Structure 1
Amino acid sequence: MFYWFYRHLEINIFQYISIRAGIGFFIAFFLTLYVMPKFIAWAKSKKASQPIYDLAPQSHQQKAGTPTMGGLVFVSATIIATLLTAKLNNFYVALGLFTLAAFCFIGIKDDISKILHNKNSAGLSAKMKLILQFIVAIIIATALYWHGHTTTIHIPFYKYPLADFHIYAIVFWIIVMVAASNAVNVTDGLDGLATVPSVLAFFTLSAIVYITGHAIMSNYLLLPNIKLSGELTILGSAMSGSLIAFLWYNSHPAEVFMGDSGSLAIGGIMGYMAIVAKSEILLIIIGFIFVIETVSVILQVGSYKIRKKRVFLMAPIHHHFEQKGWKENKIIVRFWIISFMANLIALLSLKIR
């Protein structure tokens, strides 16, 4: 809509991505802030609450009855804000909106399965969830490849492409999106724990995708120039705005959980933006909290299957610290601090090459 103002009413300010990204941020923020309390009231009336995992720490049982599927609100707000502020004929924006909606849809199916069918925390089977994620990721990765998106791989602190995967990049991109989606899902276990690292990640990815879409800035920083990808900054900015508003209600003690409809969508679009910005490897630093949470689960399961011994008191690792007696707020804030520092390092890597 705002780009329409520029093209038809000649309001020049709306040609700039940075201006429209800022407008998109605030539209998503205020829309989420306005709709979320109404959604919470509706969810409570329908008893759409998150079943608490039986093996979760005992303190989590008091969260029973908290509404879930808050992700449906902030994802919808992000999509609306992007539709109003971005160029909809831009390939990267259009595919980004599809990515967000598709992964959210998988999460909705899982959440509804938990709430209405199983009445427990199981939801969709792990196999079915993975199959759906892979199907969506295959569609997105194939679309990127046939559009001509560069298949080179870049690593932090090194100015030249490490390798060119050619058609095998499709496999790599699929793994990135599915891994990122599940990593955020694993992290979403404490109030606000996944929300702030996600906000920080989207700020960082939005900055990187803006730079890679800008010929002069990308050349100065020795980054690949991905033509027309800068418009994706608007989607990332809108995502940040909606998540900050969601945090208003998700901070401890949470009034609403994002559910898989939120966590899977966040991870999916995070992976997609990293692929577009050629920051697939850098995403390990950008989403460092999500990485250590996922690694803790892999180590725990692997160790128990091989040695019949646990590495942590409980996995994911945030539960380990709960078992050690750390208060929930202390765990959350400390993980936020780690995420903030990791994203600073990721941004510094753009210059130190």
Structure 2
Amino acid sequence: MLIILFKYLNLFLINFKLRFIMTFLSSFCITFFFSPLLISYFNQKKISQIIRKNGPITHYYKNNIPTMGGLILLLSILISVIFWSNLSNKYIIYSLFIMILYSIIGFIDDYYKIIFNNSKGLEPYKKLFLQLIATTIIIVIIYINNKEKLYIQFILPFINQIIKYKLNLTIYLIISYLIIIGISNSVNLTDGLDGLVIMPIIFISLGLSLLCYFSGDIFFSQYFNFIYVKNAKELIIICLSIVGSGLGFLWYNTYPAKIFMGDVGSLSLGAIISIIAILIRQEFLFLIMCGIFILESLSVIIQVIKFKYNKKRFFLMAPLHHHYELQGIAEPCIIIRFWIISLILVLFSLILII
């Protein structure tokens, strides 16, 4: 009897298409049906968004909207991946591991904001220190357990040529720090308007799912001149779980939002999509996909440097989406336009490989 069950289990695991569909549906349903319960619970416990005092005046009405909705996103992803993926695949373990580590950091940050009724939360240097530790742990584990040579590949636009560079541990760590810590914090900065960040995450996850398929297939990896990454196709399960849970969450997070994801959601989602890009050696294309997040971070950096230099601001307010708000552009209009730009960047990155 056990032999028969094991045989059918193996046949089920081989059926990628069925698992992809079920992963998407299960993650969507968990988030869609359980989010109202979480919203109700958070309203009762007064776990709500802490609006920064120097932020746009139009945001003050959001002060009582529940936050930390990222918990249901993470739970949905975790359940779907555990149930539908092959947990013997090391890439799945790496991805879930960094998601959990970053969710803990995000949870601490959100907890500090709520407990102390302060929008600053965890001190930036403490948050960065925890992120450095979490990233170092997972990257060192990946590097040690990788029997093949690690490369980073750069795709030259319109030339159809890929340049590959071999990496040692130091360079691998530096690149990983820049991508994982940089993108996770950029996602966190972008999460300032209703539904603004979750749709680009969905677009990027769909783009990454295609790259996972191409990188994990011998024929397609040779055709596109990718580095072949054995068993990378299994990461599509994680990508589709992010898409499903993200769409379910967007139902309640879209303008006007009934719940926000908080740092527990934005930091962990930024980290998990980053590690997927690193695992399939597609850092260059991934950074193009994340153009909106990078632009938001650059706006903050430019604002800080400009203000320290001559006590004047380059933008009306940073991050960039607040600048447009203060120009009088309606919040839904800003959100949709950022979504459009994000979709264009994802499509453009995929066009580069053709």
- What is the TM-score when the length of structure 1 is the normalising length? 0.95
Distance in 1 (CA, whole Å) between partners of 2:35 and 2:81 is 19
Q: Deviations over 1:136-190 (max 9, x none)?
A: 1001111111121642111233533342222221221122110111010000000
Distance 1:240 1:318 in 2: 23
8 Å CA contact 1:29, 1:243 repeated in 2:
yes
The answer for the alignment partner of 1:25 in structure 2 is 24
Extract unaligned runs of 5+ from structure 1. none
Mapped to 2, the partners of 1:66 and 1:240 lie a distance apart of: 24
1:223 match: secondary structure: coil
In the alignment, structure 1 residue 63 sits paired with structure 2 residue 65 = no
Aligned residues of 1:6 and 1:12 also touching (Cα < 8 A):
no
Corresponding letter in the other structure for 1:160: I
How far 1:317 moved relative to its partner? 0.4
SS at match of 1:326: coil
Structure 1 residues 192, 335: CA separation in 2 closer, same or farther (over 3 Å shift)? same
2:337 equivalent in structure 1:
334
Contact 2:13–2:86 at 8 Å: present in 1 too? no
1:29 positional shift: 0.4
Structure 2: segments with no counterpart, 5+ residues: none
| 8 Å CA contact 1:5, 1:11 repeated in 2 | no
Q: Give the CA deviation at 1:21.
A: 2.1
CA distance in 2, matches of 1:279, 1:9: 34
* Residue 34 (1) aligns with residue 33 (2): yes
Q: How far apart, CA to CA, are the structure 1 residues paired with 2:247 and 2:6?
A: 31
Match of 1:343?
A: 346
Partner of 2:123: 125
Q: What is the 5 A alignment of 1:1-353?
A: 7-9=6-8, 12=11, 14-116=13-115, 118-148=116-146, 150-156=149-155, 157=157, 159-167=161-169, 168-351=171-354
Distance apart, 1:11 and its partner CA: 7.5
Task: Out of 271-280 and 251-260, give the one that drifted further.
Answer: 271-280
Structure 1 residue ranges, 4+ long, deviating more than 6 angstroms after superposition: none
Cα 1:232–1:11 change in 2 (3 A) is closer
CA distance in 1, matches of 2:26, 2:308: 48
CA distance in 1 between counterparts of 2:6 and 2:168 reads 37
Between 1:295-304 and 1:143-152, the stretch displaced more is: 143-152
The structural deviation recorded for 1:199 is 0.4
Q: Secondary structure at the match of 1:153?
A: strand
Residues in 1 aligned to 2:142 and 2:60: alpha-carbon distance in whole angstroms: 44
> Bigger shift: 316-325 or 149-158?
149-158
Secondary structure, counterpart of 1:262 in structure 2: helix
Q: What is the CA-CA distance between 1:222 and the residue it aligns to?
A: 1.1
One-letter code of the match for 2:120? A
> Match of 1:268, as an amino acid?
A
Deviation at 1:272, TM superposition (A): 0.4
Decide whether the 8 Å contact of 1:104 with 1:262 is kept in 2.
yes
Distance in 2 between the 1:6 and 1:21 partners?
A: 21
CA contact (8 A) 1:209 1:276 kept: no
- Contact 1:93/1:231, CA 8 A, preserved across alignment: yes
1:64 is paired with a residue whose SS is helix
- CA 1:98–1:11 in 2, change beyond 3 Å: closer, same or farther? closer
Q: Residue by residue, what CA displacement relative to the aligned partner does 1:242-274 show, whole Å, maximum 9, x if unpaired?
A: 011000000000000000000001110111011
> What's the CA shift for 1:280?
1.1
Which shows bigger deviation, 293-302 or 167-176?
167-176
Alignment length, in residue pairs? 347
Q: 1:320 to 1:218 in 2, by over 3 A?
A: same
Distance 1:199 1:296 in 2: 23
SS in 1 for 2:163: coil
Q: Distance in 1 between matches of 2:193 and 2:238?
A: 26
CA distance in 1, matches of 2:29, 2:54: 37
Q: Is the 8 A contact 1:6 1:13 kept in 2?
A: no
| Percent of residue pairs bearing the same amino acid type | 35
Counterpart secondary structure, 1:343: helix
The Cα of 1:10 is off from its aligned counterpart by 5.9
Structure 2 residue identity aligned to 1:318: H
